Structure 1
Amino acid sequence: MLEKEQLDRLNALAKKKRELKINKDELEELTTLRQEYLTNFRNSFKKQIEQTKVIDPEGNDVTPEKIKEIQKRK
């Protein structure tokens, strides 16, 4: 997970880029921070989906089989 300082830096660099005032080193740093942020986001979202159980209005478990298989393996 990104530390608060890293997230603040990512936001500052993104703002600076929108203002067209970013140099090559800052652009590389922005790209690296974005990749790290996206990786963390995807991993977190994947874990959340894998722990989801879907129940229809009648109370039946309608969780997709693919997710059920993943849950069984864990």
Structure 2
Amino acid sequence: MTEDNEKKLINRINELYHKKKSTGLTAAEEKERAELHQEFIKNFRASFKQDVENLVIVDKNGKEVTSEKAKQAQRQKGLRKD
């Protein structure tokens, strides 16, 4: 998702939130709000997962201690050559 699309998504969620607090939402708007919320959560989780998979953890002695699961994900993405 592009940054512009993410901003539009968040803005629309906020619009619906404020309308819900002031005048209430129609059934169609409530459905839209729920779908937008689910899309936002899905995008957040995907982004967070990608960030975690790209982490390289190094202990205080300079030795890499990245988990094997993360290393395998990095290899699949072509980020590791070992």
Task: Pick the TM interval, shorter chain.
Answer: 0.7 to 0.9
Greater relative CO, 1 or 2 (CA 8 Å, sep 6+): 1
**Whole-Å Cα distance in 2 between the matches of residues 32 and 16 of structure 1?**
16
Coordinate RMSD, CA, aligned: 1.8
Give the TM-score, by structure 2 length.
Answer: 0.76
36, 40, 59: which is aligned to 2:39? 36
Q: Which amino acid aligns with 1:12?
A: E
Superposed displacement of residue 35, structure 1: 1.2
- Aligned residue pairs total 74
Match of 2:61 in 1: 58
**Whole-Å Cα distance in 2 between the matches of residues 16 and 64 of structure 1?**
46
The runs of 5 or more residues in structure 2 that have no matched partner are 78-82
Identical aligned residues as a percent? 38
Superposed displacement of residue 9, structure 1: 0.9
Runs of 4 or more, structure 1, over 6 Å off, are: none
**Whole-Å Cα distance in 2 between the matches of residues 43 and 31 of structure 1?**
18
